[in-house]
Structure 1
């Protein structure tokens, strides 16, 4: 099969012929019809993820396709099924899986990280009975490819971890695929959403999805953990005579701070700004990966009794309510897919995710 392969962290990815995946005894081989290009793939390529330990490596963890073959121990999925998978593939047998928390499975696997992923014509997935999710008949593959990581992750982050309520303020820091998904989901839940990003194009997409307020900031610079930047269209001085930081703008436009704030990007600046955006007893949800150590304003966390929560994907069994909202038209994740590319274009698109010119919305690879 053809696949995107790299031989070292930061090494040049190339499309080349590799061996087809073997069928796991408890798993399935899926013919990839679409796979999302995600910033997590870039983190993996850069060496930020400890699960990648062997080379050559094939990235890709958001996928949708058709089951080609199943192992002898699989009882549910059959060849020909149209499916997607969560990016956290669970074992189904550990203590966390038994409690329903497959998203933090003790023996989890992740396509594109623990083993070869979906930037390929085929991919193997283990524990198929636990992890394969049948697609609704009317859902196309590019839309489904964005569910397994970004959209499902945002859904759980906003609804389950953030516990957003109708009429509450939700601040979303970083309007890439996860952030724009969170905007859409927050609006559908009845929240008033503040979208924060450096990109006017990303904020325009957020506005189209129903964001009530837009905060455009300057890019975060080393040594500026508060994310200094001005609000879109305004440039008044802050308390110390300089441009106000992102957190101050969010607190102003929300009348005291957000009830829930998400760091959907993953940087020291966005994390600190998200925590600083909250009103008293607010809830910060960390979704974006944070390479290295990050210092949080713990004095503020204590004084305002803030909650600090992580959110790590969503278990396959939790997909039905989200899929029901998509089927009803309440959520329209297909609107977030702004670009489709072929496998030959994937290497350049992957390496470009670390720069400022990354395309807004979700890019999907069609092998």
Structure 2
């Protein structure tokens, strides 16, 4: 009998080691990992540079508390805000924590409580982040949520225009709804968001926990739109498997988060910063991002050429989805695992494809062959 709570629906395979895109279970069976720990292992499993960074830092200092200066935080912050309109960063341990920080910052800075979010969104499972999430299945059974969140239809310009007013502190959204079905912001909706925020003095929070750090082929997914958010939240790929979260903000927000307003015990510790610095040195290199774009174009082309036309291909970069209409994808994901390909869903009817950003074209071809055999 397990001593663990049963809050996860565990897969059958027990993964014990990995290298790059390939992982191996306790029985010695190998799989192509097109989950990346759900968009986390951006540089693949056991990347030599990350292993080296952890080893070297672990021999120096693991934890010192944010009561003291941690030089690595300054280094990583500078790399994240360089050549952007952001000025400051805050580090924590997860995407949910980053989103909690963003919600607190927006409310305190504006003096308002009303925040608009969208249906099918996912922002985390802590109470503030859960309240911002536009999925009832995440809310069920937990009693009253945090007040003053209005959840609107995604990509619906009319409902947004009818709702925004002077009471709104912030609008919070994902550029691509990873958990909600790999739904991308349309150009028309992005323009409407930008106009609403400018006209009403509303802060724009973009949750890039899943889309950030090169996942969509640019440093941040918002860079592919007209949007200039006031706050961006990060996690997942920033640590390539090491727990880290972050929030970036514009200069006007600095005074709102003074000493004692917000904090974290473990956030931004030296181990996490050594990993994040290594990740950014790789992922933010122009050639690396160009390669992600090239891999994405190749992957999309192969998917469209090899899958039945009844399926749709959506998403950007290496955050892609296969829309299966009204068909539930759980059985497809199980069959793919049996054939050596690890996948994850995005809602009941979409297969999410999240290989490491270091995946090869040969590995994409191998995955396509398995997908072709099961998506009949």
The TM-score, its normalising length taken from structure 1, stands at 0.33
Q: Give 1 or 2: higher helix fraction.
A: 2
Identify the structure with bigger relative contact order (alpha carbons < 8 Å, sequence gap 6+).
Answer: 2
The TM-score, its normalising length taken from structure 2, stands at 0.32
